[in-house]
């Protein structure tokens, strides 16, 4: 499995450095700012959007779940990294990788950036399929860019997505079981004119 993962990475990253406009686009996408900031701004808009009170409430629960899922995903990645460290592709294949990003020093597996972005995207999709599809497309583009830019192996981003999916399922299950908690948070937000 690891050999197939490395070969797929080398094939995808092998396209880097060939076309300057593509590299420039990927450099924007892979940055720590474009997708994360766009998702944060979209979450703010999603929080306030909705024609009726029920739609707004459902979306606000989605935002609350997205942030909770993101936190749980990041915590899970942190725990995994205690027990397993995978060197980044540019460390393992220094002569073969075209790096379009600064060289991170933390573990490559699983991808923390993709776990966070995917947790947000899946939670939004859970409450609104159309908006969620846009979030998932952004997270997918971000994942591809991380591989293309030489920062992660494909298995790293797949594991990040899987962690996010499980974390989001856990969060929504807990929200159903502990419904008074998210309802109380929304009541407080409304009392403070934040919802």
In a domain? residue 13: no
The predicted structure's pLDDT at residue 195: 65
The predicted structure's pLDDT at residue 76: 97
In a domain? residue 21: no
In a domain? residue 139: yes
Which own/partner pairs from 34-42 qualify as long-range (CB within 8 Å, at least 24 positions apart)? 35/117, 35/138, 35/139, 35/141, 35/142, 36/113, 36/116, 36/117, 38/138, 39/117, 39/120, 39/121, 39/135, 39/138, 42/131, 42/134, 42/135
In a domain? residue 169: yes
The predicted structure's pLDDT at residue 54: 86
In a domain? residue 9: no
The predicted structure's pLDDT at residue 188: 82
In a domain? residue 16: no
In a domain? residue 83: yes
The domain of 109 spans 35-191
Q: How many domains does the chain have?
A: 1
CB atoms near residue 28 (< 10 Å): 12
In a domain? residue 110: yes
* Mean pLDDT, the chain cut into blocks of 10 residues (195 residues total): 91 93 96 95 91 87 94 97 96 94 94 97 96 97 97 98 98 86 76 70
The predicted structure's pLDDT at residue 192: 74
């Amino acid at each position: 499995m690891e050999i197939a993962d490395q070969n797929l990475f080398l094939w995808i990253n092998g396209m880097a450095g060939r076309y300057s406009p593509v590299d420039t686009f990927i450099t924007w996408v892979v940055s720590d700012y474009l997708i994360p900031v766009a998702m944060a701004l979209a979450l703010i808009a999603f929080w306030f959007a909705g024609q009726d009170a029920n739609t707004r409430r459902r979306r606000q629960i989605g935002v609350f779940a997205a942030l909770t899922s993101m936190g749980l995903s990041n915590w899970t990645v942190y725990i995994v990294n205690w027990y397993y460290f995978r060197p980044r592709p540019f460390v393992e294949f220094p002569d073969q990788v075209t790096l379009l990003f600064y060289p991170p020093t933390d573990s490559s597996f699983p991808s923390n950036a993709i776990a966070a972005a995917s947790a947000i995207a899946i939670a939004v999709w859970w409450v609104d399929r159309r908006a969620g599809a846009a979030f998932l497309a952004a997270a997918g583009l971000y994942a591809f860019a991380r591989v293309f830019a030489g920062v992660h192996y494909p298995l790293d981003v797949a594991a990040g997505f899987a962690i996010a999916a499980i974390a989001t399922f856990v969060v929504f299950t807990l929200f159903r079981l502990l419904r008074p908690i998210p309802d109380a948070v929304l009541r407080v937000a409304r009392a403070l004119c934040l919802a």
